[in-house]
Amino acid sequence: NFPLDLAAVVVPSTNG
């Protein structure tokens, strides 16, 4: 989930 969190910062589309 950590790598996904960082990706969310660049592309919030991943998190929502």
DSSP, residue by residue, 1-16: -HHHHHHHHH-TTTT-
What is the predicted pLDDT for the residue at 9?
73
Residue 13 half-sphere exposure toward CB, CA atoms < 13 A: 1
2: left (phi over 0), alpha (psi -120 to 50) or beta: alpha
pLDDT tens-place values along the chain, 16 residues long = 566 677 667 766 655 5
What is the predicted pLDDT for the residue at 10?
72
Neighbours of 7 (CB within 10 A): 13
What is the predicted pLDDT for the residue at 12?
64
